[in-house]
Amino acid sequence: MTNRLRGILSLEDFEAAARRVLPRPIFGYVSGGCETDASLHGNRAAFGEYGFVTRVLQGVAQRTQATSLLGHSWSAPFGIAPMGMCALSAYRGDIVLARAAAAANIPMLCSGTGLIALEEVRQANRDAWFQAYVPGEPQRIEALIERVARAGYGTLVITAGTAVSGNRENHVRVGFSSPLRPSAALAWQGLTHPRWLVGTALRTLLRHGMPHFENSQATRGAPILARHAVRDFGARDHLGWEHLRLIRTLWKGRLVVKGIMNADDARLARDCGAEGIIVSNHGGRQLDGAVSPLRVLPAVVEAVPDTPVMMDGGIRRGNDVLKAIALGAGFVFVGRPFIYAAAVAGEAGVRHAIATLQQEIHRNMALLGITRLEQVRQGRVVPGENTAILAATPDDPASMRSKLFVPGSRPELFAKALAGEADAVSIDLEDAVPESRKVQAREGVAAWLRTRPATGGRQVIVRVNAMDTPHFEADLAAVVQPGLHVLNLPKPQSPQEVRAASEAIARAERANGVTDPVGLLLNIETSRALREAAAIASADPRVMGLQVGLGDLFEPLGIDRQERAAVQHVLLAVRLAAGEAGVPAFDGAYADVRDTEGYLAEAQLARRLGFAGKTCIHPSQVPLANAAFRPTDAEIAHALKVSAAADEAQARGLGAWLVDGRMIDRPFLQRAQAIVATARRLRLLPDA
């Protein structure tokens, strides 16, 4: 094992490693979905809705993953999905993937948007499949199919569901474009990622020249810098089933259709001559909000029982593979993790990724009590409790994993945010509203609160302007009304200011007929506030939590917001202060909405330090926060074990007891009880 692979224990580890290796635009191109990334995250979340039913003492020593598909016996039930422009992420990326797949005897799909000619990929892997985006004109269709056949491919995969390109605004945010546009920012990213610059970019240019789109038509396509490169992939919105029938008459090999998400479309594809179907939403890169392939898989399988049905989307673990097979998939494909592996360690990295996934499947087959993959369909996977996002209830404002910020000057977004998946919606009258629009925004928020729809259990928070501004009293008079749950106070400096704010809220409550007290969420955003955080948190019964404001705290002091030690120091100090006062602590905003890895890392750090949730400034951050602050299955199981052991110890009159060889006493029990309570609130456990 090379040094680059030490510490790589799962496919997810490759993503974190690739993020360090690749320039931001290239990594963003590979990792992103489209618009809010709802489908991208939904693909992963769907697997959490199913659980395993194990059998024991089944004699599982003779396990096999061998799988027959389309006339070939493969060594594992998964293959490498087609991915465009792999050679931008890893030197000769398509060849690297093809060779690793051949060595492991799993299928690899050569992409129609590849930068290495399909003929070269076929030479590297005689069993590779070719995936095509159908050209718009019949003569171009015929010419491309003739080229694929001459190259010796036996399986052609036609990608449907891409009539137009998805709205991949994340590409713009990270500085990626197709065609690529040289810029100072792109050059800087290359210089600051020397492994990629030397090992992939310069090596490619020196040995092979400027990359071209090689496989979109019968002849070599445009260079990746050419302005007309996008046009090579256009003109597909008129395509219909007659074009698939035409392809069937022209192509003499095996035909598979990728992108099927509907049972009727599956039947149509079969009737047009398709010999296999891949259920796919294209990795969440086309229609944002498209359901996970796993959700529609059973219906598609039922619709075409005699046709092999495969799927891709969200698979990162051996357990995911087994769940897909249990729901009817004959085979699955995995994409991003393998190109991450290629970027990190070339062919050795891809081989390691393949072996890791095979080992997980092999191990988990034994734990399930099966020796053949098809046995997982014999009642071994069942739907679990719905683990989708469940919002906090108004009488429990501390259970806010995610708080979605909405500018107070954008009233058209209020209801939309409230209908989303965030546990709380925080409307901002402070920093997000320019001085010239303060009055208008305040009036708009007040009007919405008076008539707002039901919250579905979500918290409604308003961040008002600070107490030392001329807007504070007017903000309170406008927004403290029955539609408000929590008032977020920025920059309190002392316990006295907190008590003064509470008294002002009480006056507004009386004036506006508010009977349920409004909670007070306090932002710790200055050096003085950090020093007095415990006293501030304890200043008034109305205080329901502390919230970290790192930007306002660090910027005036010249502290780098990305300095992890500084972030951890502040988070720990605020958490300890909140704990002393008996209230929860909430992490603040992460400004770079494009950096999902950075957001998730910071959220996970906050959770390890005992924080209850984190602010979201974009809807794409909401599922990250909800996932980060959700108890894991292992934590829930351990908490239940601690609680059960505590009951037994209490009955025996013991003040401390052993759980899994570790001494446990009251503080550990309190943490376990909190985890169980959170799990029940999220319906991960039934009510007691």
- Residues with a known catalytic role: 282
Q: Name the packing angle between helices 293-303 and 318-326 (round to 10°).
A: 30
Q: How far apart are CA 561 and CA 487, in angstroms?
A: 26
DSSP reduced 3-state for 181: coil
Distance CA 388, CA 684 (A): 9
Token digits of residue 188: 């800087």
Contact 331, 26 (CB under 8 A): no
In sequence order, which residues have a C-beta less than 8 Å from that of residue 644 and are 6 or more positions away? Answer: none
280 contacts 258 by C-beta, under 8 angstroms: yes
CA–CA gap between residue 194 and residue 196 (Å, rounded): 5
Tell me the helix, strand and coil percentages in the chain, rounded to 5: 50, 15, 40
- Distance in angstroms (rounded) separating the CA atoms of residues 105 and 85: 23
Question: Are 613 and 400 in contact, with CB atoms under 8 Å apart?
Answer: yes
Nearest residue to 158 (alpha-carbon basis) of 201, 118, 111, 94: 111
CA dihedral for 293, 298, 299, 301, sign (positive or negative): positive
Q: Contact 331/69 with Cβ under 8 angstroms?
A: yes
Angle at 610 between CA 604 and CA 614, to 5 degrees: 55
Can you tell me the distance from the alpha carbon of 657 to that of 659, in angstroms, rounded to the nearest whole number? 7
Distance (Å, whole) CA 438 – CA 430: 8
Q: Which of 314, 363, 326, 332 is nearest to 9 (CA)?
A: 363
Q: How buried is 282 (Cβ within 10 angstroms: 0-12 exposed, 13-18 middle, 19+ buried)?
A: buried
- Contact (Cβ atoms closer than 8 angstroms) between residue 635 and residue 678: no
Write out the H or E segment, with its range, that includes residue 587. Answer: strand 585-587
Q: Helix 11-21 vs helix 596-608: angle between axes, to the nearest 10 degrees?
A: 120
What 553-556 contacts at long range (C-beta under 8 Å, 24+ apart), as own/partner pairs, is 553/524, 553/525, 553/526, 553/527
In whole angstroms, what is the distance from residue 622 CA to residue 607 CA? Answer: 15
User: Beta strand 67-69 with 459-463: parallel, antiparallel or unpaired?
Assistant: unpaired
